[in-house]
């Protein structure tokens, strides 16, 4: 669990415009919800997480504009490597 949190902290902290709102850790799957300033940032974060060997698969489930906050709400599902 601590390794997972360290990896997520390291990768997300590169983007000052990303705010993590929820992390749900299940057996082999992690749901990560948050917001970013743009779709470009979300794509860049996905690419960085995909290069981590800790994750077997990184899937962007949704990314949509949040007109109230003028940003992008996103949801990732990360599958842990065995």
Of 2, 3, 27, nearest to 79 by C-alpha is 27
Q: What is the pTM of this model?
A: 0.92
Q: How far is CA 79 from the centre of its chain?
A: 12
- pLDDT number for residue 51: 95
Distance from first CA to last CA of the chain, Å, rounded? 14
28-59 burial string, b = 16+ CB within 10 Å, else e?
Answer: eebebbbbbbeeebbeebbeebeeeeebeebe
In this structure, what CATH number is given to the domain that contains residue 30?
Answer: 3.30.1360.100
Residue 68's pLDDT band, with cuts at 50, 70 and 90, is: confident
For residue range 12-51, list pLDDT tens digits in order.
999 999 999 999 999 899 999 999 999 999 999 999 999 9
Q: Could you give the number of structural domains in the chain?
A: 1
Domain of residue 55, residue span? 2-80
- Say how far apart CA 16 and CA 39 lie, in whole Å: 14
């Amino acid at each position: 669990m601590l390794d997972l949190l360290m990896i997520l902290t390291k990768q997300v902290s590169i983007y000052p415009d990303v705010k993590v709102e929820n992390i749900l850790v299940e057996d082999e799957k992690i749901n990560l919800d948050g917001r970013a300033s743009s779709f470009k940032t979300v794509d860049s974060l996905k690419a960085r997480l995909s290069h981590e060997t800790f994750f077997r698969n990184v899937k962007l489930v949704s990314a949509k504009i949040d007109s109230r906050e003028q940003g992008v709400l996103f949801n990732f599902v990360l599958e842990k490597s065995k």
